[in-house]
């Protein structure tokens, strides 16, 4: 998984440099494979110095600018009212592609040749300022690549996430780890949603016909949205972590996926029939075309998201081409669900279709975060686009998954690690991971295990958590270890091993087979 250093810093105060952070994460079990520079999203955008400005002979509002680009000087026609001699400005050279998708080419404007474009903030996706070019600080140097301030001193961390830690497959998940390692407070991002009073009411419905494969499904309806390019800051972050920016609605779902770890999806309401979503399994050999344009053959185990008439997505894997978000989309339905990991893994392998969503669902998401993730996505979309949220948020959750408790013997931890830590230190360290202490004394401590930590099932798991967060390098080496180990073999296995050892000692060669057909061949 890729994540940027500055993105993590929005959730936790990091005193370490990117290289120090990479080392800390690696020692704690989240191995950082690489530390890379932020890749540029805007290519062929350079800093230019305006040497002169003259009136256009064939236009009253256009100007002809002579612009120094470092190694050469070009003539560029500009219509911004604030263009002046002596300014340092971002220039899109021929061949550049702006966030809106506009391709810059050499052109004649009212009969005058123009080699590029002097850009405004809206053209670079940095803000909504459209009627003025962007003036850069005088410390900028002509010829250098244009780099927005939010990219400076940032790095991309490529982190290997262990298969049993899906909770770390997000910015907030890694930030939680960093907070535990550093003792810093984990920050939250407040969300701002319209007051439910006065909101239009939706009559959209959700039906789950297979609650085993889909224990929870949440949804929201937003009307009157406008599909457009996302702000540069969002596009750049998605690009840096390996996700191609598409538009503000799809980018919002991907941004929340990376930030909060929960897969989300947006459907065009215009193409949802029957004003409902039905979650059910597919028919044998049913055909369905996914967003990548591939017609896929389904089976009876694959979970499908359907409208009142047909499938519109493969649950937890990929949406359908028949309901994708387009430039003309006005009304959307947002999905946030929890799908059974085993079934999701089986379906993704059968289809040979691995996606960012399937990689997370097959490892196990938090069923109790579905609605919260949906609200955070709604908040972001309403920031990026005009739109009207309809009331209420839809939530079908037949059987709530409850947090479990896990007890640890404090002396057992010291026996396993060869340490003499006091109970207060042990409880405090484990609590840093977001595990709530429900009871503790000098001998035992009981923790409530959050539903996002599927990997914590046994006492030894809590011992391991303490060791990696407190620091394995803090454990003194011991010459003698006093650890009581259980004999995990049953009597039948032990007897077979003894018989095998006796025959081998007598010079027989053992050739493995099934227990019922062990063959012993004499030499």
SS3 letters for 129-155? CCCCECCCCCCCCCCCECCCHHHCCCE
* Strand 388-389 versus strand 394-396 pairing type: unpaired
pLDDT for residue 510: 64
- State the SS3 of 154-222: CEEEEEECCCCCHHHCCHHHHHHHHHHHHCCCECCCCCCCCCCCCCCECCCEEEECCCCCCCEEEEEEE
**64 or 131: which leads in pLDDT:** 64
pLDDT for residue 151: 61
Q: How far apart are CA 343 and CA 347, in angstroms?
A: 6
Q: How far are the Cα atoms of 10, 29, 111, 341 from residue 17, in angstroms, in the given order?
A: 15, 19, 53, 36
Residue 482 has pLDDT above 70, yes or no: no
Rounded to 5 degrees, what are φ and ψ at 144?
A: -75, 155
pLDDT for residue 368: 98
Residue 91 corresponds to which tokens in the numbers above? 């220039």
Residue 236 has pLDDT above 80, yes or no: yes
Q: Judge if pTM exceeds 0.85.
A: no
pLDDT for residue 516: 43
pLDDT mean over 67-88: 95
pLDDT mean over 274-302: 97
Residue 120 has pLDDT above 70, yes or no: yes
Q: How far are the Cα atoms of 80, 410, 417, 449, 488 from residue 441, in angstroms, in the given order?
A: 71, 9, 20, 18, 30
pLDDT for residue 346: 97
**321 or 126: which leads in pLDDT:** 321
Residue 514 has pLDDT above 50, yes or no: no
pLDDT mean over 166-179: 97
Residue 243 has pLDDT above 90, yes or no: yes
State the DSSP code for 327.
T
**127 or 70: which leads in pLDDT:** 70
pLDDT for residue 148: 72
pLDDT band at 301 (very low <50, low <70, confident <90, very high): very high
Residue 489 has pLDDT above 70, yes or no: no
User: 254: which residues sit within 8 A by CB, 6+ positions away?
Assistant: 238, 243, 356
């Amino acid at each position: 998984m890729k994540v940027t250093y500055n993105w993590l810093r929005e959730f936790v105060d990091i005193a370490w440099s990117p290289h120090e952070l990479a080392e800390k994460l690696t020692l704690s079990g989240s191995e950082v494979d690489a530390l890379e520079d932020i890749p540029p999203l805007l290519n062929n955008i350079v800093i230019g110095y305006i040497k002169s400005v003259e009136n256009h002979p064939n236009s009253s509002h256009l100007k002809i600018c002579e612009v120094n680009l470092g190694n050469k000087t070009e003539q560029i026609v500009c219509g911004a009212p604030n263009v002046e001699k002596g300014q340092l400005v971002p220039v899109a050279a021929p061949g550049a592609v702006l966030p809106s998708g506009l391709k810059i080419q050499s052109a004649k404007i009212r009969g005058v040749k123009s080699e590029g474009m002097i850009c405004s903030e809206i053209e670079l996706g940095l803000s909504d300022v459209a009627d003025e070019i962007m003036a850069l600080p005088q410390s900028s140097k002509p010829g250098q690549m244009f780099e927005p301030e939010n990219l400076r001193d940032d790095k991309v961390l490529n982190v290997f996430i262990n298969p049993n830690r899906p909770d770390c497959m997000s910015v907030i998940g890694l930030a939680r780890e960093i907070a535990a390692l550093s003792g810093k407070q984990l920050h939250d991002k407040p969300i701002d949603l319209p007051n439910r009073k006065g909101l239009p009411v939706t009559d959209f419905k959700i039906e789950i016909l297979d609650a085993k494969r889909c224990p929870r499904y949440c949804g929201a309806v937003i009307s009157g949205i406008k599909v457009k390019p996302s702000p540069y800051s969002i596009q750049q972050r998605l690009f840096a972590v390996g996700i191609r920016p598409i538009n503000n609605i799809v980018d919002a779902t991907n941004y929340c996926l990376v930030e909060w770890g929960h897969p989300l999806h947006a459907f065009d309401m215009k193409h949802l029939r029957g004003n409902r979503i039905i979650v059910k399994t597919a028919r044998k050999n049913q055909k369905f075309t996914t967003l990548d344009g591939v017609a896929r053959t389904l089976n009876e185990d694959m979970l499908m998201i359907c409208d009142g008439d047909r499938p519109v997505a493969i649950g937890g894997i990929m949406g359908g081409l028949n309901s994708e978000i387009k430039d003309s989309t006005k009304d959307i339905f947002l999905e946030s669900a929890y799908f059974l990991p085993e079934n999701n893994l089986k379906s993704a392998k059968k289809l040979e279709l691995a996606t960012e969503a399937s990689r997370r669902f097959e490892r196990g998401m938090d069923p109790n975060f579905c609605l919260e993730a949906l609200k955070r996505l709604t908040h972001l979309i309403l920031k990026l686009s005009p739109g009207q949220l309809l009331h209420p948020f839809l939530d079908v959750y037949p059987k709530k998954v409850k947090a479990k408790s896990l007890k640890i013997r404090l002396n057992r931890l010291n026996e396993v690690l060869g340490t003499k830590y006091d109970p207060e230190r042990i409880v405090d360290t484990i609590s840093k991971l977001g595990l709530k202490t429900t009871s503790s004394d000098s001998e035992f401590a009981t923790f409530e295990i959050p539903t996002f930590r599927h990997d914590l099932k046994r006492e030894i798991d809590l011992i391991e958590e303490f060791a990696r967060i407190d620091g394995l390098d803090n454990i003194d080496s011991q010459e003698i270890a006093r650890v009581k180990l259980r004999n995990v073999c049953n009597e039948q296995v032990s007897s077979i091993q003894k018989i095998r050892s006796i025959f081998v000692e007598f010079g027989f060669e053992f050739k493995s087979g099934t227990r019922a057909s062990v063959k012993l061949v004499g030499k």
